[in-house]
Amino acid sequence: MPTRKEILPMALLAFAFLAAAPRAALAIDVCGNGICATGAIPPESCSTCPADCGICPPPPADFANLIDPSDGLAGRIVVSGIRVPFENVTHANFGQERIGGSLAIAVDPTNSSRVYIAYADFPGGVAPYTLHVLRSDNRGVTWTADLLTIANATNPGLAVNNVGRVAFLYQLNTPIGVPLANQRWETHVRRSSTQGAAWDDVVLSNTPANVPAFTFLPYIGDYAYIQAIGKDFYGVFSANNTPDTANFPQGVTYQRRANFTTHQLFRTDGTTVVAASIDPFFFRLTEP
C-alpha cells in the first residue's frame, strides 16, 4: 500500500502531462493540407509552405515607386539638359582647385516626404561652376526651382535637424575673375527654418586662395561635410591654416603649435617655423 508521500508526485506528474498536451498538439501541422497555419509553432508562411500559403510575391524592383514618366525608367529626373563638368586640372580662376563631382542630398527627419538636393553645373554650358539647391515635398516626384544658386562655389553639404531646419555648407571662391593673388576661399553655412524660403549666412573661414601653391589635386579637398545630431549641426572642411583670427570670423582653436600674433606655424618643438598648408577644420553650430 503506497504512502501519501509516494502518491503525491505521481499525481503532479500526470497533471503536468495533461496540461502540456494541448500545446504540443498546436505545434503539429502538415505542409500541403490546405491550411496556412500561421499560428503553428513554427508558423507556416509563403516562404516555408507555399503549398498552403501561396507563393511569395517577388520583391519590388529598385525605385519602382519612383518612375519617371518621360522614359519609364526607375528614378526621377530632377534637371536635364545641363553640363556637369569634371576637369581634373588646377584652375587659376578657381582658387587652384579642380572642378566637378559636387552633389549632396538630405531628408527631413520631421517629414520623410521632404528631400533637399544640391548639385553643380556650368549654367548654359559655360563657367562659372555653380551650385544649386532644390527641394521636393513629395518624395522626389516633383522639385522646386532653385532655393539657392551660388556661383563659383564647390563642396556642397546638406543636413536637416530634428526640428526641420536645413543647413547648406559650401566653399566659395571670390571675387570672380580677379587674379589668383587676390582670390579668397570662403566657407559658408546657410540655414533655413522656412524650407528654403529665407536663409541666414554664417562665414566659418575666409582664407587666401593662392597660399600654399598648388602641388596636387584636390587643392582644398573634396572633404567638406555637415550632419545634424539632434538640433545642432556638426561638420568639417579644409582651408589654408595660416594662424590669423581675421581668417576665422567665428573664432578658431588650433590643435597644433601656432602664433596668432606673428601668424606663424611651428613644428612640435615650438620654435621651428613651417609654411602654411591646407588643414582640416571641425565646427559645431549650436541651435537655440
Q: What is the pLDDT of residues 181-213, one digit of tens each?
A: 999 999 999 999 999 999 999 999 999 999 999
Mean residue pLDDT across the chain: 90
Q: Which of the four pLDDT bands, split at 50, 70 and 90, describes residue 266?
A: very high
66 with 75: CB under 8 angstroms? yes
pLDDT of 9 > 60? The answer is no
Q: What is the number of other CB atoms lying within 10 angstroms of the CB of residue 69?
A: 8
pLDDT above 90: residue 24: no
Burial of 155 (C-beta count, 10 Å sphere; 0-12/13-18/19+): buried
SS (H, E, C) the chain: CCCHHHHHHHHHHHHHHHHHHHHHHHCCCCCCCCCCCCCCCCCCCCCCCHHHHCCCCCCCCCCCCCECCCCCCEECCCCCCCECCCECCCCHHHCCCCECCCEEEEECCCCCCCEEEEEEEEHHHCCCCEEEEEEECCCCCCCCCCCEEEECEEEEEEEECCCCCEEEEEEEEECCCCCHHHCEEEEEEEEECCCCCCCCCEEEEEEECCCCCCCCCCCCCCCCEEEEECCEEEEEEEEECCCCHHHCCCCCCCCCCEECCCCEEECCCCCCEECCCEEEEEEEECCC
Cell of 60: 519590388
Q: Is residue 28 over pLDDT 70?
A: no
pLDDT value for 146: 98
Q: How confident is the model at residue 11 (pLDDT cuts 50, 70, 90)?
A: very low
- pTM of the full structure: 0.79
The distance from CA 45 to its chain's CA centroid, rounded to whole angstroms, is 37
Q: Which of 36-45, 122-131, 247-256 has the lowest mean pLDDT?
A: 36-45
Q: Give tens-digit pLDDT for 154-176.
A: 999 999 999 999 999 999 999 99
110: pLDDT confidence band, cut at 50, 70 and 90?
Answer: very high
